[in-house]
Structure 1
């Protein structure tokens, strides 16, 4: 399904602008619902707005959708071939934070295309999902699988929250909010921040420790780092070897922070007790993926930020980024 809208070109302050063609080429039904009202009208007021509620099935279809676009909202990956085949494109408004992982920023810069992102839109939402996964590991909710298989195993290592230490790796917006939620539940929290290892910005009540110490002394380790060349694969065999055999690893950030082979080895060998994951190196996760062979691995299908409230917030910021760019005051630029 697609819908298009046109309106007399104009600025929100009443001043004249050229007609801009805005396209959301890879939307979804929830985005369609949220953009059908005032947000979509704001994009239409720039000239015209076209929305597609399904991702393109090929690069050719993607190119056809945005070939005449001045600006696009981007839900997911923008293939390099598509980026190079949009001669009028001036701005890409990415609906997320990790734009560099989905858009070639170097090529965009070479072609004079601005790329923006939407910081902070899901801090609370993802922190809540990380909390849910953390509590699930502490309370051994993976035993649901055994019960469904007819096994009533009451010997458990479930623990009281007051007896648990959670290590938080990364103190961006999500990490900080996650720490606050943990502290509110009476959980002991220790943290490490890559840019400022002493974690001077840690919420009051959290303890800053070196990364190796955090890995070695936490019952649950939760990752909250952005992905870049410095963090890619940083959780490898060396750090996993530091963890307790009774500990769990939670990841709602980026799968590539962890060396996949090292994680599988840690689970296979009993080096760590369990994992709870919302992100994966290949998505969707294959039905025969080795991770699924572990009864003590909890998985969710990359839904940590997929609430209606977070989707509304990300679209509001993405629309504001488009408006600001064509008003001559770009914001949230990453390229």
Structure 2
């Protein structure tokens, strides 16, 4: 068992969250923040950390626990100054492509070429999936080596536009180390959920960044709506593709804007699957997907209708957001 240099005793927290599905109790928000801070700092022993990760895997995180964890995670992010007077579209990418092509880079590049600052943060590798980081590199777009470089790229006007692609191990080494525990345990843990909720720009306030968030199961949309309705938020919520936030190119999807305790439906489709499904690259091959994305960007292939709808919803959200008086971060 590895003993940290500045150990944190997690026994009393494990006693609360580790009692099983029926007996476990949620920690108060401040306790959840304290515990997650210690986990991010590497102060929790391996055996206690494993117990905590498995306990939450079984119990699940209460909304107020996630809020405390997210607050701790923001404090462990490297500083990333925000562009002046321009909110950043924040795109988390932690799932990658399993069967379908990963079109997160297409969404990011389409936004950036309109002059909209876009930050994509995520993992370099994830099991045998094709990650967005892999695809950006295949597209010839280098990953940022520091948050200072990412901040500079968010101010660029040439090339592919104000686009920064930032690996999570650069953004938050502590969070990256927790994410990597899934390769040891074989299961995702709370850090996966928290990483996708990050707004790492500036002071982490809603006015500085529009976060894209996705769900796979309809019932999870209700959980997320409830969570973001009680926290300072500027979130565009929609059903994504294999856990990624980009719209599924094969079907229409509802898109909601959650901000300052309000919910506004920007897209409410009448149907599901498209009658005319666009011709997509086969499978999830990185080279084929990158080549297809370039063809879309060059105008040789049309933007899939659901992604075009998502782009319009983002534009509308940014426009409406200029009229909102944003609260300070918690």
TM-score normalised by length of structure 2: 0.26
Which structure has the larger Rg over C-alpha atoms? 1
More helix by share: 2
TM-score normalised by length of structure 1: 0.26
